């Protein structure tokens, strides 16, 4: 059920927003019981991590691949697509209350790790941000 599909970054260097159009909340399940926020148009904005949540269950809940979710959170949470000249950036652990970004249009404005917001650079070009 996962929409991993290749081509996260287009040849132009721009983040591919197509996987976002296929993302959907398939409902709470073991390991992904957090709260989802939606935009006025019904599109996904964010996910608040609940106790007992883990990455694979969250990926399944939204039918999205690891690398795409990592890219959506690269600025404010860090990850494989984050650029920090001072140190290596790894995908962060999940903490209860973390906000995970679910939209390519809010990469610079949604997300945190244990209450902390980062400001990493990306290794790709962002689509227009809200």
Q: What percent of the chain has pLDDT over 70?
A: 95
Range with the poorest average pLDDT among 4-18, 23-37, 43-57, 91-105: 4-18
Examine the pLDDT at 75 and tell me if it is beyond 90. yes
Please tell me the predicted confidence (pLDDT) of residue 87.
Answer: 73
Tens digits of per-residue pLDDT, 26-58? Answer: 999 999 999 999 999 999 999 999 999 999 999
Tell me the two tokens of residue 67: 């690398």
- Residue 45's nearest CA partner among 117, 115, 104, 108 is 104
């Amino acid at each position: 059920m996962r929409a991993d599909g290749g081509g996260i970054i287009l040849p132009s260097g721009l983040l591919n927003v197509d996987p976002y159009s296929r993302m959907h909340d398939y409902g709470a399940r073991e390991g992904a019981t957090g709260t989802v926020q939606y935009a006025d148009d019904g599109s996904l904005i964010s996910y608040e991590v609940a106790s007992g949540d883990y990455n694979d269950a969250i990926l399944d809940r939204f039918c999205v691949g690891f690398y795409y979710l990592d890219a959506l959170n690269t600025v404010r949470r860090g990850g494989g697509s984050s650029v920090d000249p001072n140190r290596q950036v790894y995908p962060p652990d999940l903490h209860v209350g973390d906000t995970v970004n679910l939209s390519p249009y809010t990469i610079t404005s949604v997300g945190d790790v244990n209450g902390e917001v980062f400001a990493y650079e990306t290794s790709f070009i962002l689509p227009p941000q809200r």
